[in-house]
Structure 1
């Protein structure tokens, strides 16, 4: 978490300081600096003594199909699939849209800087919020924030509008994605963790790749407004499925409690 916040501050600043160094090739020197930072990180990681993990058992517990067809897993995976790709779709398009609107690269760097801080900064207390209010409510709050970010993006084309969009989008991603990940944890047993988490990651990051590839084409062909409008239908779908599953679970809990009080009613 601290690394994410640090990267959010340092990364865009490095670009800001280096993008004009190798004229006339904008950003060329920034890529060299990025490579140097990667080498430094490799050296640090190589010196860390990490214990070798135990061999993963991919066949323990229930069959994967049984786990992933649970309504609660479907809701959790769907919210993760919505929250991450929608965030990536808007984030990837934003710097290009700012350029098309006549804003400077420095404006884009500043927006991305605070977007990344907003993505990782709340992680210091998101877990506490989940423990207090429950993962479904935090996921719902995150999805609503992502929709709110799209609404801000539709409301204007100034630098401030783009910055606000990116910051609200980052916080929304943090709540919705971490909350959805917490929901996935509730759907499997410890011995089933590896295969379930791998399947969930495949869904989320596979859709994120599709969102990344489609972002530029969507912006180029239909404009910034279309990018923001695309966010709303998936968010509504995620909220509807999440609400339905949460309602069904509360109803089942009430029925189970009633049956416990009146066993003859079975």
Structure 2
């Protein structure tokens, strides 16, 4: 194990020194799908709170849409994770994106009909698409060598940048299109999301071959020695204490980063609108924020692999704190200063998300990888739902600066979490019993 990745135990049989030639094709297909799906992800981020405020008539409830689609993402993460575990990444991710397209269409219909119950239901369904967008990063690391997992995850997240950045800047254009069709302007970005998620569904369903998770299982089965005579069959080998600790640590890093980022980001457009800025200005700030969430991913992945997971995770907490303080102290009439604060907010999230993804992937056994990763993302989605729901209430009663400072301080909790977790063992896992996958074939973790 390289010095940069020695913080997390990596199973000795997990192909530490080689990657299959198919990895390049896998990453290419995932990148293409993410380029499109990023626009779908950006719809809820950009206008979700504004649409909620308009339809519900209350700033205090403006965070409800964000809470709903992030709660929907929790359900989606469970479903997509289980489907990936049973059938592979290709059908799981394709179904998730298709569900996101249906949810986006439902949001448009709800806005056109001014139907709040339909809006709530559609936002839950739309959340499945946003969950799939983030779950795709795990597909990029299924067959990646452990020393390159940070970079593989970073490349998939980076691909989300184009759609996620362009989407918010098209608020006016998509709003005009929606208006000509007799639909409220704030529903325009969700029209874009329908097409974006649908196109991502087609690309993954048609071209993600070989399936990365199934390929990883095949390689593990081929590398496994014969099972000793008399060895009892069935069941996965329980993860050791170091693995459980690694999963918990990586999950905590991502949850804290998500909670702080969602809370501050959700209410920024509302904060700007309350101080006289139009939706185009808010869209520009959110576009820069979303760009900072994904654009640095290749560099972040390189740093995760070279400097270590824990160092980068700690840096995320510090960066998010600085972002919160800057957002709180920035004069609300200064769009450039708010943009800088939101860029730092996105960067801090990126540092936590890429490092946390690497920690979790290093720690989870292959036989339960997809389902465990899905459960991890449930926690992340629930954290986002909590942040989105609480953000409106905090702003309504305490103001945006209170929310921004509180979010930054919460993110800084990443540092003691890492300290309490301690450094996982540097030793490679010397041996594991062969664990059968669902097809009955054995492979080593």
Say whether residues 1:85 and 2:259 are aligned partners: yes
Q: 1:195 to 1:37 in 2, by over 3 A?
A: closer
Match of 2:312 in 1: 138
Match of 1:241 in 2: 417
In structure 1, which of residues 49, 58, 76 is the aligned counterpart of residue 207 of structure 2? 49
Question: CA separation in 2, counterparts of 1:68 and 1:97?
Answer: 44
Task: Confirm or deny: 8 A CA contact 1:61 1:192 kept in the other structure.
Answer: no
Match of 2:169 in 1: 13
In structure 2, which of residues 293, 297, 300 is the aligned counterpart of residue 123 of structure 1? 297
Question: CA separation in 1, counterparts of 2:191 and 2:418?
Answer: 42
**Deviation at 1:100?**
1.4
Q: Secondary structure at the match of 2:379?
A: helix
Select between 66-75 and 112-121 the one with higher mean Cα deviation: 66-75
Say whether residues 1:104 and 2:278 are aligned partners: yes
TM-score by length of 2: 0.50
Q: 1:35 to 1:67 in 2, by over 3 A?
A: farther
Question: CA separation in 2, counterparts of 1:13 and 1:40?
Answer: 15
**Deviation at 1:231?**
1.6
Q: Secondary structure at the match of 2:376?
A: helix
Q: Secondary structure at the match of 2:170?
A: helix
Question: CA separation in 2, counterparts of 1:44 and 1:240?
Answer: 39
Q: 1:12 to 1:232 in 2, by over 3 A?
A: closer
Q: Secondary structure at the match of 1:19?
A: helix
TM-score by length of 1: 0.80
Question: CA separation in 1, counterparts of 2:413 and 2:297?
Answer: 25
**Deviation at 1:165?**
1.2
Question: CA separation in 2, counterparts of 1:132 and 1:173?
Answer: 19
Match of 1:180 in 2: 356
Question: CA separation in 1, counterparts of 2:279 and 2:197?
Answer: 27
Q: 1:33 to 1:188 in 2, by over 3 A?
A: closer
**Deviation at 1:28?**
2.0
**Deviation at 1:41?**
4.6
In structure 1, which of residues 226, 248, 259 is the aligned counterpart of residue 402 of structure 2? 226
Question: CA separation in 2, counterparts of 1:49 and 1:222?
Answer: 50
User: Deviations for 1:213-251, whole angstroms, at most 9, x for unmatched residues?
Assistant: 2222221221101111222442232211202323x54xx
Q: Secondary structure at the match of 2:290?
A: helix
Q: Which runs of 4+ in 1 moved over 6 A?
A: 21-27, 66-69
Match of 2:68 in 1: none
Match of 2:372 in 1: 196
Q: 1:188 to 1:37 in 2, by over 3 A?
A: closer
Question: CA separation in 1, counterparts of 2:381 and 2:349?
Answer: 14
Q: 1:187 to 1:11 in 2, by over 3 A?
A: same
Match of 2:382 in 1: 206
Q: 1:72 to 1:27 in 2, by over 3 A?
A: same
Q: 1:174 to 1:27 in 2, by over 3 A?
A: farther
Match of 1:167 in 2: 343
Question: CA separation in 2, counterparts of 1:14 and 1:234?
Answer: 32
**Deviation at 1:36?**
5.0
Question: CA separation in 2, counterparts of 1:35 and 1:19?
Answer: 9
